[in-house]
Amino acid sequence: MTTTTEKKKSDFYQNLTTTEINVDSKDRALAEKVCEQAIIPTTKNEYWKYTRLTKLTKPKYIQQKEEIGDITSFVIDQDAFTLVFVNGFFNEDLSSKNKPSGVEFKILSEKEALPPLQATIEGALFTAINTKYLCDGVELVFKEKNQVKTPVQILHIIKGENTISNFRVLVKNERFSEGQLILGEFSEGGKTKLSNIVVDFKMEEQSKLHVDKIQFEDEETFHISTENIRQKKNSQFTINTITLNGALVRNNLNFEVKGENCESNLNGAYLLKGKQHVDNHTVVDHQVAHCNSNELYKGVIYDKGTAVFNGKVFVRQDAQKINAFQSNGNVLMSDYATVNSKPELEIYADDVKCSHGSTTGQLDEEAVFYLRTRGISEDSARELLIAAFIDEVLDMVQNENIRTFIDKIISARFHQNI
Amino acid sequence: MTQKKKIIEIKNLHASIDGKEILKGLTLTINAGEVHAIMGPNGAGKSTLASVLAGREEYEVTEGEVLFDGVNLLELSPEERAREGLFLAFQYPIEIPGVSNINFLRTALNEIREHKGETPISAKEFMALVREKSKIVELDAKLASRSVNEGFSGGEKKKNEIFQMAMLNPKLAILDETDSGLDIDALRIVANGVNKLRSDENAIMVITHYQRLLDYIVPDFVHVLYDGKIVKTGGKDLALELEEKGYDWIKHDLVNN
Ligand SMILES: Nc1ncnc2c1ncn2[C@@H]1O[C@H](COP(=O)(O)OP(=O)(O)OP(=O)(O)O)[C@@H](O)[C@H]1O
Ligand SMILES: [Mg+2]
């Protein structure tokens, strides 16, 4: 469904070099075609209605390798097994050496052939770019029947003017495996950068994965994430997307729930300031019966920030006994802050329990007053109330180290911003 | 006889909201060690007085002066008033989901201590204080650590207000209909709690409609607030008289004077 208005050719990726990684041949052909058509989605396109790509498509991006000296400030969990990627390329020196047992990893450029991508390439320009111009990435496998207690932490840092990073992570949870993954998305200097990250999650029968994704890039970084989760029966998947900074951030999260008795949890928290734009687009596709999905996204928007939430839940005709819960809440901290929230349910089965809701409002001034009458300053009162609001999501991050990392950033933010 | 220390002096206070004058020249002095009851018909301006003293910004003070322990109260922000030792137990305490009672009280206590040039309270001391003070109003320890008033019954909310008063140890506590919503036992417990907090150093303003509370918290003075002014002042017997006769005779007297 391309309309004429979308046929705006652009050359923002024409200076890139085609990947030498052995991506799947069908994927490559499709990616070539999509890139050739060069259709930049405009806001006329429903999928991009509230997110303008004009600024993002202005620079002429290049793929480039960069060095970084020190990753201390990017380490989210110091006890995790860490793999570091700079501009999409593996940095072995900065990565951990002692891999925990039960999980295997392989750098994509070292693989004979990549499996076909789960994420759709057709009509998806950024996934096509990621495929045709892939920098590098990693494949992670949680081995059958292994419970891996040590979290795997993948840190991605983008650096240097006009850098594009086409980075890919392929995660496979084999049958009865259990793991934790931390995705840290950072930046280190340089104007107009683009992180274009694709992650596939394959959840085999009875497997379990908890993902905490922390986005903390600078105001010169555009970010497009595309995550595709395919769940087989009895699998449990949780992802918490915590967006703490960035210029324009678009997270596409697609769940295909293909087996019965699955649990899918997707939560998000975002704190926006300046002219930041954060867009969370989620799809949960319940294709079979007896599954639960829980979705909770909450955000606080300061200044001229814009938050977009679009959450779709499909319940197919045969998918009876589904419990699907979806909610989005926003607090506007300024008269210029904007929210576009669109929770959607499309239900074709009759025996399901679904609920969705969306709220947008200001901080409760009565509560601010109440706290002040107890001696708490106005700033602290607001901080307490914002924390209370966002904590409902942050509490889903169970790993203490990650929570400490997030709290530090938020607290620093309060003390310079308010 | 040595002169008693004045805790608060309200002089000819006029206050309005949305252009409507509610307080119309209210004068009242409360000394250290005293309990003053404020009674009066619905809509007379009792809660308005409490709100204006606590610093609610919607109200505009158009005339008059309030000295709180010698300080010009009306120039202070709500938090500064609290730090100077003013406390309001709300008629309708609100619920604040996600903010734990304990956490916010600790923040409050420390901001008050900082204001006084004192060091922050240690976690251990604080918890000991919570245990001690929650006993005074027999507030369930579980309630003390839950979100502020969230899911509390009406009576529990009122107890929680007095618990906070106990924690913050104010110079002047204004209790706005703290008795409403309390069952008979809870009323006695809360009133006894308030009595335990009384001292020669502090003072209490009790806003109430009923004599019952004043059986427990015995006032030194009873004032009738009517149409934005104190129109009658008496001893504790005035409350009994009001209970018996209502407010009509006072309105009548006013018209005839
Ligand atoms: N925003 C407002 N605009 C106009 N009038 C208001 C506003 N807020 C309060 N009032 C009025 O102020 C008057 C005093 O109210 P207040 O709550 O102080 O009464 P009260 O003496 O505490 O009564 P009660 O015994 O019922 O608690 C009432 O007539 C009320 O309607
Ligand atoms: Mg009242």
> What interface predicted TM-score (ipTM) does this complex get?
0.96
Range of the domain at B238: 6-93+170-256
Beta-strand relationship, B203-207 and B172-176: parallel
B96–A388 C-beta distance less than 8 A: yes
Q: Whose CA is nearest to atom 13 of ligand 1?
A: B43
Rounded alpha-carbon distances, angstroms, from residue B101 to A390, B25, B88, B104: 17, 37, 16, 6
Q: What is the pLDDT of residue A151?
A: 98
Mean pLDDT of A97-103: 96
B107–A384 C-beta distance less than 8 A: yes
Same structural domain, A99 and A222: yes
Beta-strand relationship, A221-231 and B60-68: unpaired
Same structural domain, A200 and A57: yes
Q: Are B221 and B234 in contact (CB under 8 A)?
A: yes
Distance B40 CA to ligand 1 centre (A): 12
- Asked whether residue A1 carries a pLDDT value surpassing 50, the answer given is no
Tell me, yes or no, whether A354 lies in a domain: no
Question: How far does B135 lie from chain A, in Å, by closest CA?
Answer: 20
Tell me, yes or no, whether A155 lies in a domain: yes
Domain closes at, from A259, A290, A307 = A259
Interface test with A, best of B53, B56, B79 (most A CBs within 10 A): B79
Counting ligands in written order, the one closest to the CA of B43 is 1
Encode pLDDT of B19-73 as tens digits: 999 999 999 999 999 999 999 999 999 999 999 999 999 999 999 999 999 999 9
Q: Which ranges constitute the DSSP H helices of A58-208?
A: 125-132
pLDDT band of residue B250 (cuts 50, 70, 90) is: confident
Encode pLDDT of A134-156 as tens digits: 999 999 999 999 999 999 999 99
Distance B44 CA to ligand 1 centre (A): 7
Record the tokens describing residue B196, joined without a space: 């335990």
Contacts of B98 in chain A (CB under 8 A): 385, 387-389, 391-392
Q: In terms of Cα–Cα distance, which of A148, A256, A153, A146 is closest to A206?
A: A146
Encode pLDDT of B121-155 as tens digits: 999 999 999 999 999 989 888 888 899 999 999 88
Same structural domain, A47 and A168: yes
pLDDT band of residue A9 (cuts 50, 70, 90) is: low
Number of A–B residue contacts, CB under 8 Å: 75
Q: What is the pLDDT of residue A8?
A: 56
- Asked whether residue A416 carries a pLDDT value surpassing 80, the answer given is no
Tell me, yes or no, whether B85 lies in a domain: yes
B51 lines ligand 1 (CB under 6 A): no
pLDDT band of residue A339 (cuts 50, 70, 90) is: very high
B116 lines ligand 1 (CB under 6 A): no
Domain closes at, from A236, A259, A282 = A259
Tell me, yes or no, whether B200 lies in a domain: yes
Counting ligands in written order, the one closest to the CA of B226 is 1
Q: Whose CA is nearest to atom 8 of ligand 1?
A: B17
Mean pLDDT of A107-127: 95
B228 lines ligand 1 (CB under 6 A): no
Tell me, yes or no, whether A5 lies in a domain: no
Tell me, yes or no, whether A299 lies in a domain: no
Q: What is the pLDDT of residue A37?
A: 87
Give me the number of domains chain B comprises.
1
Encode pLDDT of A395-415 as tens digits: 999 999 999 999 999 999 888
Beta-strand relationship, A89-91 and B6-17: unpaired
The beta strands (E) that lie in A143-247 are given as: 152-158, 164-173, 178-187, 193-203, 208-216, 221-231, 236-245
pLDDT band of residue B255 (cuts 50, 70, 90) is: confident
Tell me, yes or no, whether A319 lies in a domain: no
Give me the number of domains chain A comprises.
2
Encode pLDDT of A344-403 as tens digits: 999 999 999 999 999 999 999 999 999 999 999 999 999 999 999 999 999 999 999 999
- What 8-state DSSP symbol labels residue A125? H
Q: How far apart are CA A374 and CA A41, in angstroms?
A: 52
Encode pLDDT of B9-33 as tens digits: 999 999 999 999 999 999 999 999 9
- Asked whether residue A7 carries a pLDDT value surpassing 70, the answer given is no
Same structural domain, A254 and A376: no
Tell me, yes or no, whether B145 lies in a domain: no
Mean pLDDT of A230-259: 98
Q: What is the pLDDT of residue A176?
A: 98
- A9 and B CB contact within 8 Å: no
B47 lines ligand 1 (CB under 6 A): yes
Beta-strand relationship, A164-173 and A136-142: parallel
Q: Whose CA is nearest to atom 7 of ligand 1?
A: B17
pLDDT band of residue B4 (cuts 50, 70, 90) is: confident
A378–B54 C-beta distance less than 8 A: no
- A391 and B CB contact within 8 Å: yes
Same structural domain, A254 and A368: no
- Ligand 1 atom with the smallest distance to the CA of B177 is 27
Contacts of B77 in chain A (CB under 8 A): 372, 378
Please tell me which residue, A248 or B145, carries the higher pLDDT value: A248
- Asked whether residue B1 carries a pLDDT value surpassing 60, the answer given is no
Q: What is the pLDDT of residue A2?
A: 44
Q: Whose CA is nearest to atom 18 of ligand 1?
A: B45
Tell me, yes or no, whether B143 lies in a domain: no
Contacts of A29 (CB under 8 A, 6+ apart): none
Tell me, yes or no, whether B160 lies in a domain: no
Question: How far does B109 lie from chain A, in Å, by closest CA?
Answer: 7
Q: In terms of Cα–Cα distance, which of A145, A294, A272 is closest to A206?
A: A145
Tell me, yes or no, whether B48 lies in a domain: yes
Encode pLDDT of B97-116 as tens digits: 999 999 899 999 999 999 99
Record the tokens describing residue B77, joined without a space: 């922000």
- The alpha carbon of A204 is separated from its chain's Cα centroid by a whole number of angstroms, namely 21
Tell me, yes or no, whether B186 lies in a domain: yes
Tell me, yes or no, whether B75 lies in a domain: yes
Please identify which residue in the block is written with the tokens 């904590």. A391
Distance B180 CA to ligand 2 centre (A): 11
Tell me, yes or no, whether A63 lies in a domain: yes
Counting ligands in written order, the one closest to the CA of B44 is 1
Tell me, yes or no, whether A186 lies in a domain: yes
Distance B43 CA to ligand 1 centre (A): 5
CATH number at residue B48: 3.40.50.300
pLDDT band of residue B2 (cuts 50, 70, 90) is: low
pLDDT band of residue A38 (cuts 50, 70, 90) is: confident
Distance B48 CA to ligand 1 centre (A): 6
Share of chain A above pLDDT 90, in %: 92
Q: How far apart are CA A294 and CA A264, in angstroms?
A: 6
**SS3 assignment for chain B:** CCCCCEEEEEEEEEEEECCEEEEEEEEEEEECCCEEEEECCCCCCHHHHHHHHHCCCCCEEEEEEEEECCEEHHHCCHHHHHHHCEEEECCCCCCEEEEEHHHHHHHHHHHHHHHCCCCCCCHHHHHHHHHHHHHHCCCCHHHHHCEECCCCCHHHHHHHHHHHHHHHCCCEEEEECCCCCCCHHHHHHHHHHHHHHCCCCCEEEEECCCHHHHHHCCCCEEEEEECCEEEEEECCHHHHHHHHHCCHHHHHHHHHC
Range of the domain at A222: 25-259
- Asked whether residue A6 carries a pLDDT value surpassing 80, the answer given is no
Encode pLDDT of A341-351 as tens digits: 999 999 999 99
The answer to which of A184-198, A258-272, B240-254 has the lowest mean pLDDT is B240-254
B98–A388 C-beta distance less than 8 A: yes
A377–B82 C-beta distance less than 8 A: no
Q: In terms of Cα–Cα distance, which of A268, A326, A336 is closest to A301?
A: A336
**CB-nearest partner of A377 from B81, B99, B111:** B111
Domain closes at, from A259, A280, A312 = A259
Environment class of A233 (CB within 10 Å of its CB; exposed 0-12, middle 13-18, buried 19+): middle
Same structural domain, A55 and A194: yes
Tell me, yes or no, whether A321 lies in a domain: no
Encode pLDDT of A249-262 as tens digits: 999 999 999 999 99
